[in-house]
Amino acid sequence: LFDNKGVGETDGLTPNTIADMAKDTATFIKALGLEQVDILGFSIGGMVAQELALQEGDLVRKIIMAGTSP
């Protein structure tokens, strides 16, 4: 389970854009040593998942978007 910086129980300042949230997500996934992931994005997380797929297409295998917008 992943929370962006400044969200939930994480420290730091929350990024101002979805694109920056996606960059943080990619950094987290790569730090775990994962080469490809399936993502469930809820609400803003669905928008982050879409942006992540645009930025790091090879990193994302499947996306499930729940309660999100395009």
CA distances for 23 relative to 33, 46, 53, 58, 67, angstroms: 16, 14, 11, 14, 22
Beta-strand runs (E) in the chain = 37-42, 60-66
Q: What's residue 9's pLDDT?
A: 81
pLDDT digits (tens, 9 = 90+) for 3-35: 788 887 888 888 999 999 999 999 999 999 999
Q: Is residue 6 part of a domain?
A: no
State the Cα–Cα distance between residues 63 and 5, nearest whole angstrom.
21
Q: What's residue 7's pLDDT?
A: 81
Q: What's residue 50's pLDDT?
A: 94
Q: What's residue 28's pLDDT?
A: 92
Q: Is residue 10 part of a domain?
A: no
State the Cα–Cα distance between residues 6 and 58, nearest whole angstrom.
27
For the chain, how far is it from start to end, CA to CA, in angstroms?
22
Q: Is residue 28 part of a domain?
A: yes
Its pTM stands at: 0.85
Number of structural domains in the chain: 1
Its domain, for residue 61, covers: 18-66
The proportion of the chain whose per-residue pLDDT surpasses 70, expressed as a percent, equals 99
Q: Is residue 9 part of a domain?
A: no
Q: Is residue 33 part of a domain?
A: yes
